[in-house]
Amino acid sequence: MDINELKNACEGCKDCPLGLTRTNLVFGVGDPNAELMLIGEGPGEQEDLQGEPFVGAAGKLLDDMLEMIYLDRSKVYIANIVKCRPPHNRDPLELEKNACIHWLREQIKLVSPKLIVCLGRISATALIKEDFKITREHGQWFEVGGIKMMAIYHPAALLRDPSKRPETFVDLKTLQRTIKETCLNTYR
Ligand code: URA
């Protein structure tokens, strides 16, 4: 199965109630052979309307963050923990995350990235470890199932609290260094 076939299989998913209220599935975007995956939490209003992750205000900031380390969407693969928008942008429920995460796990298997960056606490607690503390542990690498994973603050958190931006810049520079050490194709 390739990533498009997986997306087609996901299109009809009604494994949790979010499948009934979404406008569009937000499966993922970018290079299906990317060495770096970025994983957010779940679609917001704009993402739900457009069917693409990180296209609202937080997405604009994410693009700027990528540009700081000379990357853009075409060089990475971006997805979310849940593929359908939680109503009123609330956090996804345990039931929703549990019902959805197998799609992400299959995406990760197909893309087979060297590095994963979790955007925010919800992604980090789902992928790195359940008790991940974003304020203490952002910017640190963890080895999970043979993949190096790091979490940084969610761009929406950086919009709400710009005082976190300098720390995130340091984390992005750490990411850039590790990409240069471990990824052959990303900066080609
Ligand atoms: N926030 C997320 O976590 N994911 C998106 O796709 C958009 C906003």
Torsion of CA 41, 82, 24, 154, to 10 degrees: 0
The whole-number pLDDT of residue 139 equals: 98
CA distances to 14, 103, 148 from 128, rounded to whole Å, are 26, 17, 10
CA distances to 40, 67, 125, 128, 138 from 121, rounded to whole Å, are 9, 23, 6, 10, 9
The whole-number pLDDT of residue 188 equals: 86
- What class does CATH assign to 3-176? alpha beta
Q: Which atom of ligand 1 is nearest to the CA of 40?
A: 3
Residue 52's contacts (CB-CB under 8 Å, 6 or more residues apart) are 26, 29
**pLDDT of the chain, 188 residues: tens digit per residue:** 999 999 999 999 999 999 999 999 999 999 999 999 999 999 999 999 999 999 999 999 999 999 999 999 999 999 999 999 999 999 999 999 999 999 999 999 999 999 999 999 999 999 999 999 999 999 999 999 999 999 999 999 999 999 999 999 999 999 999 999 999 999 98
Instruction: Provide the greatest CA pair distance for the chain.
Output: 44
SS3 156: helix
Of 47, 48, 55, the residue with max ligand 1 atoms within 8 A of its CB, to mutate for a pocket test, comes to: 47
Residue identifier of the C-alpha nearest atom 6 of ligand 1: 53
What is the Å distance from ligand 1's center to 48 Cα? 10
Q: What gap in Å lies between CA 174 and CA 140, rounded to an integer?
A: 9
The whole-number pLDDT of residue 49 equals: 98
CA distances to 82, 102, 151, 188 from 8, rounded to whole Å, are 16, 15, 29, 31
